[in-house]
Amino acid sequence: MNLEETLKQLEALGDEKVRKQNKKQGAGENQYGVKLGEIRKLAKKIKHNQELAFGLWKTGNVDARFLAVLLMKPELLSKEELEYLVDSMEFVRVADWLNSYILNHHPSKEELRKEWLKSENTMALRCAWSLTAERIVKSPERLDISAILDRIDIEMPKAAPEVQWTMNFALAYAGINFPELRNRALAIGEKLGIYKDYPVSKGCTSPYAPIWINEMVSRQNK
């Protein structure tokens, strides 16, 4: 399946409700509004195709980029290619897919995490903090969690909203997984007050760090 054929299939799967939802979440006009489940089905049909994936990505189309992520193999991507993908990202949900399906499985993710923590690019920083949050949970060895909390305390209030979101994951995970730092994480969350008034659906946990931390610790204790 070539690029033109793939785009036609995506366009045919477009849904007005999904388009409106994507726009509310920050996507622009360059999208078809395809349900993520349909994108996954199409990816299974096409299978891995690195060349097609980059062709889809370069269109800038939201749905094409979701599909592109699923068609890539992390281990085949160079550091330069990953930097290109991150630098050219615009929609946070695509960024989250890239983190989940590509960056979290790339052999150079720790090197990139450290580099992107120094970046002035919003999406690179968002990815760096997402990778940091993952490390706090899965591989905290040789990670200075206290220094991470210092940085969150200082930088999170002025960070872009896209970056605040993944910094908040790092803050919450530090408080949940490290009892000796829990009170400090709670204090930082209370002082910053970020997401304190965030609307939450019934049955869901608030992203406000103090509520999130206490709720998860309570579940662990049960």
Q: Give the single-character DSSP code of 75.
A: G
Q: What rounded mean pLDDT belongs to the chain?
A: 95
What is the share, in percent, of the chain residues with pLDDT greater than 70? Answer: 100
What distance in Å separates the CA atoms of residue 218 and residue 131, rounded to the nearest whole number? Answer: 25
CA–chain centroid gap for 203, Å, is: 23
Domain residues of the chain, as ranges?
1-72
Residue 201 Cα distances to 9, 155, 174, 198, 204, angstroms: 34, 29, 24, 10, 6
pLDDT, tens only, 18-40: 999 999 988 989 999 999 999 99
Percent of the chain with pLDDT over 90: 95
> How many other CB atoms are found less than 10 A from the CB of residue 211?
18
